[in-house]
Structures are given as C-alpha cells and as structure tokens.
Structure 1
Amino acid sequence: MKLFGGLAASPGALAPGAGAGEKGLRAGALGLFSSVVMGISSTAPAYSLAATLGLIVAGVGLQTPVVIMLAFVPMLLIAHAYRELNATDADCGTTFTWATRAFGPRTGWMGGWGIIVADVLVMANLAEIAGIYGFRLVGADSLADDRLWTTVAGAVWITVMTAICYIGIEISAAVQRWLLCIEVAVLLLFAVVALVKVYSADGPATAVHVSASWFDPTRIASPQAFTTGFLAAVFIYWGWDTAVTVNEETADSKHIPGRAAVMSTVLLLIVYTLVSTSAQAFAGVGSEGIGLGNAANSDDVLSGLGRAVFGGEGAGEFLTKLLIFMVLTSAAASTQTTILPVARTVFSMAAHKAVPSRFARLHRRYLTPTWSTVGMGLASVGLLVLLTAVSHNVLADSIASVGLAIAFYYGLTGFACVWFYRRVLTRSRRDLLFKGVLPGVGGIIMLGLFCYAAFDVYADPGYGATAVDLPVIGRTGGVTVLGLGALLIGALLMPFVTREHTATLRLQRRLLPRLLPPHTAVEHANRYVPADGRSGVGGDWFDVIPLSSSRVGLVVGDVLGSGLAAAATMGRLRTSVRVLSRLDLDPDDLLSRLDDAVRQDTEDPTGDRTADRATGAVGVTCLYAVYDPVTGRCCLALAGHPPPTIVDPASGLAIHPELPVGPALGVDGPPYRSTELALPPGSLLALLTDGLIHTPDHAADEGRELLAGVLASHRHSLEELCDRALETLLPGPVDDDAVLLLVRTRLLDRERVAEWELSAEPTAVSTARRLTSGQLRDWGLDELSFTTELIVSELVTNAVRYARGQVRIRLIRDRGLICEVSDTGHTSPHLRHAATDEEGGRGLFIIAQMTRGWGTRYTTTGKTIWTEQDLPDGS
C-alpha cells in the first residue's frame, strides 16, 4: 500500500485492545505544553479571526469583544465535561466512547459520526483556504481565484499534513509547536502595534478608543443580533478537543489532556479578545475601507488590516507578508491537527468494532493509525474535489454547516458527562458542579445553538450561498440541508453499524437462564450487566444446576472475546456444563472434559489445533462448584477464573480464599484441582466475572475490597445486596460484561436425613428393608414403603453381589425422597431390557419405572447409586 504516491505504508497489526491505553498508540509522546499546542492549533486562531471577525461585527457592531468573551463560556463548560470524562476513561474515541458508555452504542455511533462529519468538512475547506493564501503569499492572485488550482493546492496540503500525521505524533507536535509560537507572536504583535497607533497622534482616521461600553452586552441592538453574533463567535473556539483526542499518546493520560483542554480555551479567549479589541479600535466597525463592517473584507479581515497596521515598506511589508503567511499556516496547521482527532476517533471506533476492523491497524514503527489516518485524508480530498465540482457555493455553505456537527457532538458530550456520573453527583459539591451542573449547562447551551442555527438562522433561504426546495418543507437554506443531511446519513447507517451489538445482546440474554427455580440447598440471586459497547458484549454466563441428592451446581464463566461468536460460544459451553453436571462429575473432572470440548471446537479439518479467533473459544474462564446441603461442604475448581468471595455468617468478615487456579479452558497448563471447603449454614458466596471488579475506575483488588464492604451487610436480602454491589462497583457505564451470582448456603435438617452402614452380606438386604420401612413410617411416608423397599432391596443386592466391604444406605427427605446406596465397587450398572428366558437384568428397569430419576455418582472409595421419587400429595 502507498500513501498518496510515495510514503510507504505498513499495514501493521490490529490494535491489541479496545480499552483506554490498550490500543498500542505511542504512550507518553506528548506533555502538557504539546497538548495545549495541539488544542490551540486545531482552532486555527489566525484564520478563524480573519474569516469570522467581520461576520461578528456585522451582527453586533462594537459589542464584538464581549460577544467573543461570552462565546467562550459554553466552550469552557464543555471543556470541563471533557476533563471529567477523560479522567475516568482516557480513550481517544472521546465523544464516541463516552456517549456509548453513557447512552449505548447507537448514541455513541452518532457522536463519533458527528466528529467525522465536522472534521472532514472543515479539512476540505481549510485545505482550500491554505491553497488560496499560498498563491496570495507569492503574489499569484490569478491562481488564487482559479477554482482548479486552489483545489489542486488544497489536495496537496491535505496530502502533506496527512503524511506528517502518519509518520509520528512527535513530529506532528514539533511542527505545531513552531507554527503556533510564530502565529501567536505575530497576532500579539499585530494587536500591540494596532493599539499603539490608535493612541498615537498620527493614528488612522477610523481609530476608536477602547471603551467600557464594548464589554456591555446590554447594548446589543436586539436578541436576534446577539444570537447571530454569538453563533458566529462560538465556533471560533472549536478544535481544542484535539488535546483530549490524543490522550492515549499523552503522559499522565487521565489528567494532562483535560487540563490542556481547559487551558487551551482560556488562552484562546485571551488571544481572541485582545486581537478583536485592537482590530476594532484600529479599523472601527464602518462599512467602507478597512472598517470591520465592510462586507467586501468579511471573509478575510486580517489581510487588509495587515498593510494598514504594519505599513507597506521595509519591515512593514515583511510583517504584512508574515501575517498573511500566518493565516496560511494557521489553516494548514489546523488541517494537520484536524486529521489527528478524526483519525483517532475512527481508530477507536474500529477498535470497539463500530467500523470495519481494518481501520484499527497501527504502523509497526510509528505506532500511528494507518488505515484511519490515510482513509480520512482520502475522504477529505474526495470531499474537496466533489464539492468543488458541484458548486463553489456549496463548498462555501459546507463550512458553515460544520457548526451544526460541532454543536451536536459537543452538546452530546456535556449530556453524556451528566448521565455518566449521575450516581455520584451527590457525593460532593465538586462532583455536583464539575460533573453535573457545568457540563449540563454546556450541553443545554449547545442544544439551543443547534436548534436555533438549524431551524432558524441556517434554514433561512437567504442565508448562505445556496438554497434547496425540499418536499413539504419548502425552500430551505443550503447550510441547514448540508449540516442536517450529513448527520442524517449517520442516522441511516446506524442500524447497520449497531445491529451486531443488538443481535449479540438479544442472543446473550436468550441464552442466559431467565428464571432459576428455588432450591433447598441454597438461596440465590443474580445480576447480568451487559457492556455498553460492541467491544464488550457477549460471553459471560452463570447457572444454578440442581444435582442429585439435593446438591446444587454453581457455575460462572467468561468467554474471551465479544460479539455474536462469543455469545454463541457461551451458549454451547453453558449447555455442555449442564450435560456434564448430570454425570455427577467432580468439579476438576468436569472442567477437564469441558476443556476437551473447547479444544475440539478449535481444531481445523486438518487436525491442527489453533486459536479460533472467529469464535473466541480459546481462553474461556470458568468456576464450577458443587454444594452439598447434607454435609455443608462445597467442592470447587477454577479454570483461569477469579475465586469467589465468602462471607462468614457469624462475623460478616469477607474471605478471599487462595485456591489453585488452573489454566483457562483451551489453554495448555497443569491439570485442574478441586478444593473442598466446609461452609457454615448461612455462608454467603459471591461468584463473579472479572468485569464486575476490574473496571476503568478501579483495579481488581480494589474492586474486591469494595465488594467485601457491600457484603458486610450480609443479613440483607440477596436481591438488595446485588443492587448495592452494582451501584458501588459499576456506578456508571460498563465496558465489559459483568455477572454477579450471590448464594446463601443452607444445611438440611438432620431429622430429614437417615444413614446406615451394613456389611456386604446377604442378610444386609432384609436389614435394609426393615430400616427403610421404619424410617418412612417415622416420616409419615408409608405410601412409599413398598416401592422404596423394592429399590433398596435391588440396590443392596447388587452391592452384595458385585462389591466388597461396607454398604452405606442414606435416605434424604427433601422435595422428593432420595435413596442412596454406596459401595466400594467402581463398575456402573446399566439399564437394559432382559430377554424372556433370562432370570436377571430386570432390576434397574423396574427401578427406572418407579422413580423420577436415578444415576451413579463415583467417589474416591467407590460409587453411589441414587434414586429419587416424588412425595405423595400433601406430604
């Protein structure tokens, strides 16, 4: 692959992870100063003033400085939202990632699409401006007015800036530092010289002394004039969020980008206020000559003022040319710093599986996004060529329509911050102010600006250079049509982009148990919390499985991966565990057989076992436990899974037992080992997946301590404890699926259990029948005496015939009547149909007809054959 005809592009590998700091970008490449430079450069201060100052003056006249100051307020509020969100989730996807976590993948997609629309549109326009100013700088005014040559020059500028972004963030930052320092220095020099001449004896005839009335918003002629000027002023601050978009490449990524965003907006306020005040004092707001109200100069105020301020000879000529050059480099630098955020937004969207995964590729050497950087550069060139070919008026209106996309995703970020932190707003005054009030007010202002601009100002057919006749609506301004149309394209693409997340979540919920029946052995409650983005949904599961002899199987598992494949794999494994559990296997044995099933899943037709990236089956973690309410013992084994938290019923102390953890299923390693724990009745077990305790807000150890604090109130209902645990550990959006299964153990009343141990002699059969009938009479179950004596007689006879040593009989009265006969033999009887001339072989067949179920359970000393019968009605 080649990058714009020359620069070799290595496709590289996919981002190794989707989380903040896990995508493989060059961490620590930028410091605070470089981040601030990135934020300010993206706003293109010189070009923004040159292109917008005249429009603001046309709206509000002498009140231009105060309008520029007021326009700073919503930007500062949104900058605080960026800072707070970045402190929790320093993801280069910014609005896309945060809106996804706050509101779900559909809203997140639209936030990311808003960034793409704004950045690609503005890049096309900034490149054209850079081309025009480049020709003017060398005196080629005829080429500056030629549409073909300005388009070619714009495409060249995009290519150059894309190449700089491609070969490394450090080079991009170094270029920006030099360009911005010179740009700000020239603007400040312009402001100082202009003010000096205003107050000198030979000042220009248009000069007006600075007055306090300029900073009084009540002097604005009308609310409509204010909103028109405010709308034009607010977007000259746009671009500071680049400082946050490069967060994963910034040192101290959780704090420096947020500080840089706030500092960038404050520094822009100072520069804009000083330059606008000095320019207005020097040129006035007249509609002739160099007056800022002259419509002929509205699209380029600084070029005309430069010669008047600096003069046309000697050093003045040089400074005039330098000012023009600064407007040129401002537009060019903004092109470069606009490529950075859109490329990283698309890169993050690809890492989170919201766009094709190829856009998540990194350059092996430069550690920069490859497909996303080049792709956004190509998209900008294509859009520039397309809009130029359609109409230059359409190209002009497209830059105005950028404001709608900006207001959309900035406002969405403000609302996402409030919803993201909604559960912690009452924690402190600072949280309420900086996480709630300020972002919320900023979001409301942006929403108001969006609606006012889209449906009033921009919709006016007389606004801008184009108008479109829309069905039903009628003639509408082209700026509204372009801005809303671009966002509408994203809304139309949204169902296709988010359908996998929707399908995965639907499949995941259908495969998980909907309603687990009550059980004598334990009381249980559960919660499943799906991830808010596509990169985390699918794979976590839990189950409570009734086993023989009133025992219960407890399962929690996590499939490595996400999406439909992970959800389908989870469904297969949950079914496999249920099937294997019916064999009454020990936990370590069950995990070994489940491991075999996973390995068979990852074998190709040739027999080579490979990691199946499509299904994500390799790397499954699982915890399987069996609790026996008769003995109060719990036997469990782990396959790469977090161990449970156990709360003592007497003291309320949470214990994190150190258990042998075997390898994840499908991964080579030592064999699985079971551990048996004695649990007092009323013990509380918390079985969970990693997504519950390991979040962006806290590490796994801290999460366990938080969970222990919640479970200290173990006497509360399990449902209440589940809710409290989620509120504490997952107060905001969720990056990864999380499962919590709470279990409170019970011990079966000893009066409901009867045990006898007999010698393996023929007389044991009659003794067993007599003991059984006596116990059933004591329990008031005389109706079951005949069948139970027959069952016991058959099973004890088999034990006497085929085994040696002692024979143990146990009756358990639970929801049914359970009969167990244990011996030292290791051979399992098989059910079969005896022929008419055979004397034996009918015993198990008769037992199977008289019972609800029967089976064999192997132990370390032999085997146990069990049967279960329904209790009589009313018993």
Structure 2
Amino acid sequence: MESDVKLFGGPAESVAPLAPGSAAGKKGLKTDALGLFSSVVIGLASAAPAYSLAATLGLIVAGVGLQAPIITMLAFIPMLLIAYAYKELNTSDADCGTAFTWATRAFGPRTGWMGGWGIIVADVIVMANLAEIAGIYGFRLLGFDSLADSRMWTTVAGVIWIIVTTAVCYVGIEVSATVQRWLLCTEVAMLVLFAVTALVKVYVSPPPTAIHVSASWFNPLHVDSARALTAGVLAAVFIYWGWDTAVTVNEETADSTRTPGRAAVISTVLLLIVYGLVSTSAQAFAGVGTEGIGLGNTNNSGDVLSGLGNAVFGSQGPGWFFSKLLIFMVLTSAVASTQTTILPLARTVFSMAAHKAIPSRLARVHRRFLTPTWSTVGVGLVSIGFLILLTTISRNVLADSIESVGLAIAFYYGLTGFACVWYYRKVLTRSSRDFLFKGLLPGLGGLMMFYFFYYAAFVVYADPDYGATSIDLPFIGRTGGVTVVGLGALLLGVVLMLVTTRGYAASLRLQRSLLPRSLPPQTAVEPTSRYVPADSRSGVGGDWFDLIPLSGSRVGLVVGEVLGHGLHAAVTMGRLRTSVRVLARLDFPPDELLAHLDDVVGQNAKEQASVHGGDSTGSEGAEALGVTCLYAVYDPVSGLCSMARAGHLPPAVVSPDNGAVTYPELPPGPPLGLGGRPFQSAEFQLPAGSLIALFTDGLVQAPDNGTDVGLGLLAGILAQHRLPLEELCDRAVATLLPGPVGDDAALLLVRTQMLDEHRTAVWELDADPATVGDARTATTGQLAEWGLEDLSFTTELIVSELVTNAIRHAAGPIHVRLIRDQSLICEVSDTGHTSPHLRHAANDDEGGRGLFIVAQITEQWGTRYMPSGKIIWAEQALS
C-alpha cells in the first residue's frame, strides 16, 4: 500500500487513485457540479476584465488614439469565432483537455500535444504575473506603498496568493465557483459603477480632459494605418482571453456537451459589452492626452483604472471609499483570474496524463473532493517556481515573458479553430448550419489567430526596440526578447513533445506490424478489412483481426480486443494472435480453440502477477486478463459456418437474397482468462454471397453513438450488400467514425463463396482391404477428368496409405474426398478418434513408413476431428 499524503494542512488521505478512464466524463471528476450561470462566471472571471482593461487600455490608446473603443470591440470577432469552434467540438467530445484533446483527434498526438503545451505555457506565465499583481494591489489597498514597490515582498505576496488559490481549486470545483461568484459580482458592479459615474460627469461636470462620445470613435477606418490597426487589435485580442475556462471544466458541468459551449459564447458577448462600455466611458472622461489622467500618458499605461479612481469618484467621503474599492476591484480581478487560471491549467495537465501524453501519475483524482490532485498541486508549484526564478533573474525578463503569452494564446486558439474544421470535414456539406458553425466561422477564427501569431512574433515583438530586453541571436541578429521568449517556450514544447509522444508512435508501429499486412485471396471468402488507430497513446491498444487458411479449403475468421492500451496491450495482442494462428492450424473447432486460448491468457496473467509480486490488478495484469475474442470457421464446400465468442460482440450477417442484416445470438462466453462457464459453438448455414462482418466495439461505440445506435448504423450500411466490399468498409468507417476516435477500431468484412460441386469428389468405402484398389481406381479416374494426370501416381499412393491406415485402426464406413482448389486436397475420414503419429521406422520394422511417405510427397498434412470421428488430410501443390 502506498503511503499517505497530507496536503494544505487537511486530513491525511490515501494516495489519490488514478483516473479510471481517459474518455470524456470517465476520468472520475465530480459531475454536474456547475450550472450555466457558474460556468459563465468562471469564464468571465478568467478573463479578469478589470485587470485586463487596467493594463491594456492605455496601450491600445497609444496605438490607435480615439478609435480605442472600436478596437476593443473588433477584437471580439476572432474570439467569438473561436468560441463557436469550442462550442461545436465540445458537443462531440466534452473532454477537459479541450485544445489538446481536439487537436489530437483532428491532427494526431503530436499536434495535440503542442496544443496542450500552448495552454500550459500561457497559463503558467499569466499565473505568475497575476499573482504578483495581486500582491502589489494588496499592499496598495492596505496603504503599504513601499512594500508594493519591493521586488522581494511582492514576490512573497504573489507566492502566497498562488498557494491560497491553488488550495481553493484543490478542495473542490463548487468552492471555486462560489468564490468566483462573489468576486466577479464585486468586479462587474464596480466596473459598471465606474463607467456610469464617468459618463455622467462628462455631461454634467466634465473635467478639463473630458470629450463627448463621437461616432468617429467607432469607425476603424479612422485609424492612421493598417499596421496601427493590426497592432491595436492584437493588443485588444488578449483582453478577452480566459473565457475558454468555462469549457475546460466541462466534465464537471451539468449537461456537459451543451452548457460549456453556451457559456463560452455568452462569456465573450458579456465581455464585449463590459469592454465597450468601460473603454468608451474612460476615454470620454480622461481623453487620450499624454499628461495627467489622459489615457495616452505612458506613466499610467500599466494601470489606467486606479489612476482614474480619484478623478472619477473624488478623494473625500464616499469617493475615497469607491476609489479604494476600485483598487480592491483590480485586486479581486487578479486573484479571481489567478484561481480560474489554475482550473484550465490543472485540467489540461490532468487530461494529458489520463491520455498518457505525459506521466500518468498526474492523472490522480482526490477521493473526497473529486478534483485533480497532483496536476493541481503541480501547476501551483511550477507557477511559484517560475515566478521566483524570473523575478530573481530579472524583472525585465519577467515583463517580456508576460507579453509573450499572447503568442501561446494565439497558437492554441488558432489550432483549435482549424481542428474544428478538420474534425468535422466529412459533415460540412450536410447542412448550411454545419458549414457555417463547424467550418466557416471556426476556419476564419483560426486564420485570424494565426495571422496575429505571425504578425506579433515576426513583426511587432521581433523589433529589438520592443519590450524590455533584446537578444543577439546567431544568424538572425538582435531580436526582441518577447519573440525570443515566446517562440522559445513553444520550441521547448516541440522537444518535450518528441520525447513524450514516442510511446504512442512506438505503440502504433508495433500494433500495425503485428496486424496482417494484407489478406491473401481465398476460395472460401472475398475479404477486406480496416484498422482505425486511436488518436492518442491512451487509445492505441490491442484490437486485432485475422484471416487464417485452414485445411479442406476452409477459412478461419478472428477478431479480438485486449483490455488496456499502449505497448503492453500491443505486445499481448501479438502473443494472442500468434496463439490463435497456431491453434487454428491444429483444426480445433471454435469452442475448443477459445478454451485453449483461455489457458494461454490465464498463463500470461500468472506470469505478469509473478513479476508484480502477485498483484494481478496492475495495468499489465489487467491487459493480460481482459481479452475478448470471436472465432469463426467457414467451409465453402458445405456452406456451414461455426462460431464461438469470448465476451465479444456477435458478428453481423447479411443475407445475399434481400440484404437482411442479423446479429446471430451466439452462446455467450466470458472474456478470456476470467474463468466461468465453458465456451460453446453455434453453426449456421450460409448461402454463397452472404456477408459476415466481424468488428471490435471501438467501431460501434464512437462518442456520438451508443452501442445500439452504432449497431443500427452498421446494419444500414451492410444492407447495401451488393456494393464492393472496399466501398462498404469505407462507408462503415466514414459513418460510424466520422471524426478521429479515442479507441482502436477493427473491421473484418468477408463475402462467402461456395466451391463448385464439380471441383469435389466423394466416395464411401467399406472397411475392407479389398476396397483400397477401388479407391485408387476412382482417384485415378477423377484426376484424369480434372486434367491432373501428372498427380495420379502420388495421389494414388496417398489414398492407398490413408485408406489402409483407416481400415487397420478404425471401424465403420470410410469416406474419401478429393477437392481441387488452389491445391489438390485428399481427405480420408473414419469413425476412429486415435490420432496418427509420424515416426521413423527402424530397418527391421514391417510397418510405420506409410505416413512418413505421405509427409514427404505432400506440402502439408494433418488431422482434424469431428463428432463422428476424424479426417486425415494431405495437400499437394498444383503445377
């Protein structure tokens, strides 16, 4: 048993368990904890509207002058477009990994990892900044201005704020939401009061700087240049950032597929209203001058609201209180945003760990609070370390790091917009709504975000004179520190991505190498197949299919699935696939084959348990035990198909006459390795042209579909049975898995064929030595009719030896059957159950050489058993 831990002074808890699953809603987080209102509050609080305006409005005015209000509104457009991308993607996959999960499913694990890294970089940097700001304003609120100017004390206060807000997030999402409701209500109320008071004074008792609101303020064409317009929008875009937290807590929200997306859109619209109102009123009251309270005064650009507090509310009586309340508002805004920044950061890390994109230890869930444990604590510690490190090195580097956060934001927002388009690319033409909200709007949002990323990184921030630092790069020259830090952080993610995703790449390569590279043509069936790998390391596992040629022109069909994911599941699958092929070549019927395979799985589980000190509940032990399998044998001579299953879904069988699709009720059997009732076979007569579809549950359990819905969709596709098999497979995958999937899916589809009756010949013989000559004569005549006279001598010898052995060692009638297929097959059946053994006869032995001779002149031979006896068969190659 692992040791106990004690966090934040709370009671000692057993080490939190790992998330029970990686799928949306299956990670063990507390469900239905938030409603629409709480989600909107969290989205608004994460944007920190008071602090964002205080720190950004002066910069916007410096760039575009009187057009600052319209610039703050134009920045709303790309945010709304990305919000729709979040809304649509969340509808299909309400995973708290958001950009990480969706980009993974759209573009693969490496691109998805970079999306998650973008969130991590942005949130860690912003948390350090917000915590420091909260420390500064805390001292100002209490009147300790000297401490507010002290690097050491503001850093200490910032560390304390990170610890406090991390603790709040740790003890539960409801506590976080309750705190946010109070903080946000205070913040919004003060912003509205400030805006209304400022506008009233502009028209009642205007200060010298006041100017009346003009329609020209809302005309972007009045901006001096396109460069200034772009730079202004670039600065304004990021004051909206943070609303996506409402979607990041989706797995803890009621109606998780709808509420978070609606909350994201509502949050951006409310931010538009607040920003438009406050920026207009502040500009009307203070003007855009470069002196005094003017918004263009560079001395006030870091905090225009606190500087306007005394001017708007006055410094006496209630005005003094409201001025202090305005400072408190900026403080609470920074604190609230610090707390809500922990939520998406911790849940992104948690989701990445649950999907095994980073160490799975970070996917632990608190037993009582049902919150991420190590990911929440870990991101708090990392943020503290980042704040202390950069403060110690240089405040200039810290300042440039804060500005560089815009690059990470534009990167993962833009990636999410394009992920939405690519994720839904197959359904964009389904309706005008799908085209608009799943394609056009998210695509435009992605283009805008990547344009801002390029413009900021290589035009604005790359200027050596921009920001507090510049760095002389080899082959490039002096470059702005903001660009170096921002792009450097993303490039660091590329290195980490290559290291952490190599497990997925190795699992996928191993999985593909262990599956059949191609399905060889068979007389019995026309086959085709599809394997759709999962989009992340947590999904690639042990799904497999196979087609095995058997004696007598028969064919074995198998599909199976190993519980678990990653390299261990793929290795287990490889072992079992090899075992099935070996057992199938021994001609075991389906129920006996599964019984023997059950022994193999049980033995593997015991070996894994011995390695782990007798614990069979570990991941590797679970993979060794949790195996489902379906095995079927089809005989093209008789048209009979026998099947047995071990915990697997039954196959779909399609009639060639009317296209009716059925799922045969096979006798249920437990998954392999778990013990229980014995396996049973069922036998069906299938006419030529029947379709048999064997599949794993990943095909019919896509996120949008339950199993019953998936089986119904599959039946509707297979009902078009006259289409080519390749087209049917493509339609099945496109319909059932329209986007990337979280679990492997395998499909083996075959169309049955019957062997022409003129290609078989059967004789019944008495158990009398005199009939051996009759068998040789009949064989020679049949071969002559088939034009195979060159095989007469060897075939006569084979028939003679096998019939003689049957007469000697068995009783009852003897049957001889010749099958002309891709090879010439000779079968001799009798009522005995004694298996013949090949041996080397001694020089003085009178017998024992017949079977040895048969083995020498044939390609292969063997024995298979029937309820009434056995069949000895031998195959010869056709010239």
Q: Which of 270, 276, 281 lines up with 1:273 in the alignment?
A: 276
2:600 corresponds to 1:597 = yes
Q: CA deviation at 1:9?
A: 6.0
Where structure 2 has 5 or more consecutive residues not aligned to the other structure, the ranges are none
Larger CA deviation: 115-124 vs 567-576: 567-576
Question: Which moved further from structure 2: 239-248 or 614-623?
Answer: 614-623
Unpaired runs of 5+ in structure 1? none
1:770 is aligned with what amino acid? T
Counterpart pick for 1:287 among 290, 295, 313? 290
Show the 5 A alignment for 1:202-281. Answer: 202-281=205-284
- Pick the aligned partner of 2:828 from 821, 824, 827: 821
| Cα distance in 2 between the residues matched to 1:508 and 1:478 | 45
2:675 paired residue number: 668
The letter for the 2-side match of 1:690 is D
Which residue does the alignment assign to 2:721? 714
Letter of the 1:668 counterpart: G
In structure 1, what is the equivalent of residue 157 of structure 2?
Answer: 153
Distance 2:729 2:180 in 1: 51
Paired amino acid for 2:601? V
State TM-score, norm by structure 1: 0.98
Aligned residue for 2:543? 540
Q: Deviations over 1:777-807 (max 9, x none)?
A: 2222222222222222221222222212221
Structure 1 residue 776, shift from structure 2 partner = 2.0
Paired residue for 2:197, among 173, 193, 199? 193
Q: Check conservation: 1:633, 1:679, Cα contact below 8 A.
A: yes
Which shifted more, 497-506 or 235-244?
497-506
Match of 2:446 in 1: 443
1:334 aligns with 2:337: yes
Contact 2:103 2:415 in 1 (8 A): yes
**Equivalent residue number for residue 478 of structure 1:** 481
CA offset digits 1:545-585 (Å, max 9, x no partner)? 11001000111111111111111111111111111111000
Q: Secondary structure at the match of 1:515?
A: coil
- Aligned residue identity for 1:698: N
Retained in 1: the 8 A contact 2:643–2:666? no
How far, CA to CA, are the matches of 2:508 and 2:803 in structure 1? 51
CA distance in 1, matches of 2:782, 2:773: 14
Distance 1:273 1:581 in 2: 73
| CA distance, structure 2, for counterparts of residue 458 and residue 224 of structure 1 | 13
Q: Which of 469, 477, 484 is the matching residue for 1:466?
A: 469
2:682 corresponds to 1:679: no
Distance across 2 between alignment mates of 1:8 and 1:136: 38
CA contact (8 A) 2:651 2:695 kept: yes
Shifted more, 29-38 versus 278-287: the winner is 278-287
Correspondence for 2:862: 855
Distance 2:750 2:854 in 1: 34
Match of 1:236, SS? Answer: coil
**Residue 351 of structure 2 aligns with which residue?**
348
**Runs of 4+ displaced beyond 6 Å:** none
Deviation for aligned residue 1:608: 5.3
How many angstroms does 1:306 deviate by? 1.0
8 Å CA contact retained: 1:799, 1:823:
yes
Matches of 2:226 and 2:233, distance apart in 1? 10
Asked whether the equivalents of residues 111 and 412 of structure 1 are also in contact (C-alpha less than 8 Å), the reply is yes
Q: Does 1:768 align with 2:775?
A: yes
Give me the CA root mean square deviation: 1.3
Question: 1: distance between equivalents of 2:378 and 2:317?
Answer: 45
Whether the 8 Å contact between 1:7 and 1:163 is mirrored in structure 2 is: no
- Take 1:834 and 1:388, find their aligned partners in 2: how far apart are those partners? 89
Name which of 11, 16, 36 aligns with 2:15. 11
The code of the aligned residue for 2:556 comes to G
Amino acid at match of 1:96: F
Kindly provide the CA deviation profile for residues 581-613 of structure 1, in whole angstroms up to 9, marking residues without a partner as x.
Answer: 110000111111111111111114499582452
1:2: Cα distance to partner?
4.0
Q: 1:263 to 1:591 in 2, by over 3 A?
A: same
Partner residue of 1:489 out of 492, 495, 508: 492
Structure 1 counterpart of 2:677, one-letter code: P
State the one-letter code of the partner of 1:51. Answer: A
Structure-to-structure mapping, 1:721-760, within 5 angstroms: 721-760=728-767
- Which residue does the alignment assign to 2:698? 691
**Match for residue 844 of structure 1?**
851
2:101 maps to 1:82: no
Q: 1:62 aligns with which of 58, 66, 69?
A: 66
Counterpart residue type for residue 485 of structure 2: L
The answer to whether the aligner puts 1:369 opposite 2:372 as a matched pair is: yes
Q: Are 2:389 and 1:386 aligned? A: yes
Aligned mates of 1:136, 1:605 — CA distance in 2: 63
Q: Which moved more, 1:104-113 or 1:754-763?
A: 754-763
Cα displacement (A) at 1:712: 1.9
Aligned counterpart in structure 2 of residue 655 of structure 1, from 658, 662, 665: 662
Indicate whether 1:296 and 2:314 are aligned. Answer: no
Give the match's secondary structure for 1:757: strand
Q: 2:576 aligns with which of 558, 563, 573?
A: 573
Counterpart in 1 of 2:709? 702
Q: Contact 1:602–1:612 at 8 Å: present in 2 too?
A: no
CA contact (8 A) 1:361 1:369 kept: yes
**Contact 1:10–1:363 (Cα < 8 Å) also in 2:** no
Contact 1:546 1:553 in 2 (8 A): yes
Kept after mapping to 2: 8 A contact 1:89/1:696: yes
More divergent stretch after superposition (593-602 vs 761-770): 761-770
Inter-partner Cα distance in structure 1 for 2:10 and 2:54: 34
In structure 2, the partner of 1:425 is: 428
SS of 2:239's partner is: helix
Superposition deviation, residue 834 in structure 1: 0.6
Q: Does 1:561 align with 2:576?
A: no
Question: Does the CA contact (< 8 Å) of 2:632 and 2:644 recur in 1?
Answer: yes
Secondary structure of the residue aligned to 2:829 is strand
Change (3 A) 1:8 1:605: closer
1:613 to 2:616 alignment: no
What is the aligned residue count? 871
Structure 1 SS opposite 2:21: coil
Deviation at 1:297, TM superposition (A): 0.7
In the aligned structure 2, how far is the partner of 1:160 from the partner of 1:135? Answer: 17
Q: State the partner residue of 1:401.
A: 404
Cα distance in 2 for residues equivalent to 1:177 and 1:418: 34
SS at 1:761's partner residue?
coil
| 1:110–1:437 CA distance, 2 compared to 1 (3 A) | same
Are 2:858 and 2:876, in contact at CA under 8 Å, matched by a contact in 1?
A: yes
* Structure 2 letter corresponding to 1:551: R
Which residue type is aligned with residue 177 of structure 1? Answer: R
Aligned equivalents of 1:319 and 1:741: distance in 2?
72
SS state at 2:768 partner: coil
Aligned-residue sequence identity (percent) comes to 72
Cα offsets for 1:503-554 (capped at 9, x unmatched) = 1111111111112211111100111111111111131111111100100011
Conservation of the 8 A alpha-carbon contact between 2:601 and 2:624: yes
Q: Using the alignment, how far apart are the partners of 1:664 and 1:450 within structure 2?
A: 51
Q: Match of 1:857, as an amino acid? A: R
Amino acid across the alignment from 1:132: I
Q: Give, in whole Å, the separation in 1 of the partners of 2:144 and 2:515.
A: 70
CA–CA distance in structure 2, aligned partners of residues 32 and 494 of structure 1 = 35
1:695-750 Cα shifts (integer Å, max 9, x gaps) = 11211111122112222221121112111211111121121111111100001111
Distance between the aligned counterparts of 2:12 and 2:277, measured in 1? 44
Q: Return the alpha-carbon distance in structure 1 between the equivalents of residues 400 and 836 of structure 2.
A: 84
